[in-house]
């Protein structure tokens, strides 16, 4: 268990500080994209418009990504669901602390 733990923390640090692996994969994906686009009749697509058309999520490696500290959850869960309520019940002072 300890070994897996340390590996997990190492991978987390890698994810933050060594984006090179990820960058490569993203770049190659982007290349594929542009090749696919170039076969279409629209050859020159301004960056801004392309993004709107694709409606893709902002990637980590977009150098012109929007400067925004707010984080948007993709989807909010339904918090009137009983199971969900119980899952965070103990994060409140009203929770059950006998356990």
Partner 1 sequence: MGRDKTRRLSGSRHLRQRLVLATLTSTGVTIDDIRSGDAAPGLRPYEVSLLRLLDKISDRHTIDLNETGTKLKYMPGVIQGGKGLEHDCGVHRGIGYFLEPLILLGLFAKAPISIRLKGITNDTKDPSVDTFRMTTLHMLKHFGVPLEGLELKIDSRGSPPLGGGEVFLRVPNINSTLTAANWVDEGMVKRIRGVSFSTRVSPQIESRIIYAARGIFNRFIPDVHIFTDHRSGASGGRSPGYGVSLVAETTTGCLLSVDATVSYPSVDEINDESEKPELMSPEDLGVQAASMLLEEVAQGGVVDSTHQGLLFILCALCPADVSKVRVGQLTPHGIETLRNIRDFLNVMFVIKPDPNSNTITLKCVGAGVKNIARKSS
Residues in contact with partner 1 by the rule CB under 8 A: 5, 8-9, 12-13, 15-17, 19, 46-49, 58, 60, 62-71, 73, 76-80, 85, 87-95
d(CA 99, CA 89): 13
Q: Tokens 């268990």 identify what position?
A: 1
Smallest distance from the beta carbon of 8 to partner 1, in angstroms?
6
The closest of 97, 94, 72 to 85, measured between CA atoms, is: 94
Smallest distance from the beta carbon of 80 to partner 1, in angstroms?
7
**Toward partner 1, which CB reaches closer, 40 or 66?**
66
Smallest distance from the beta carbon of 78 to partner 1, in angstroms?
8
Q: Are 19 and 61 in contact (CB under 8 A)?
A: yes
DSSP structural state of residue 78? -
**Toward partner 1, which CB reaches closer, 19 or 28?**
19
Smallest distance from the beta carbon of 61 to partner 1, in angstroms?
10
CB-based contacts of 26: which residues, under 8 Å, 6+ apart? Answer: 59, 60, 61
């Amino acid at each position: 268990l300890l070994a897996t733990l340390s590996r997990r923390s190492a991978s987390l640090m890698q994810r933050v500080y060594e984006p090179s692996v990820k960058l490569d994969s993203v770049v190659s994906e982007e290349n594929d994209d542009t090749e696919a686009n170039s076969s279409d009749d629209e050859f020159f697509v301004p960056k801004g418009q392309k993004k709107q058309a694709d409606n893709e999520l902002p990637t980590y490696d977009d150098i012109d990504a929007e400067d925004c500290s707010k984080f948007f959850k993709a989807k909010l869960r339904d918090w009137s669901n009983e199971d969900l309520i119980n899952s965070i019940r103990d994060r409140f002072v009203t929770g059950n602390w006998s356990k």
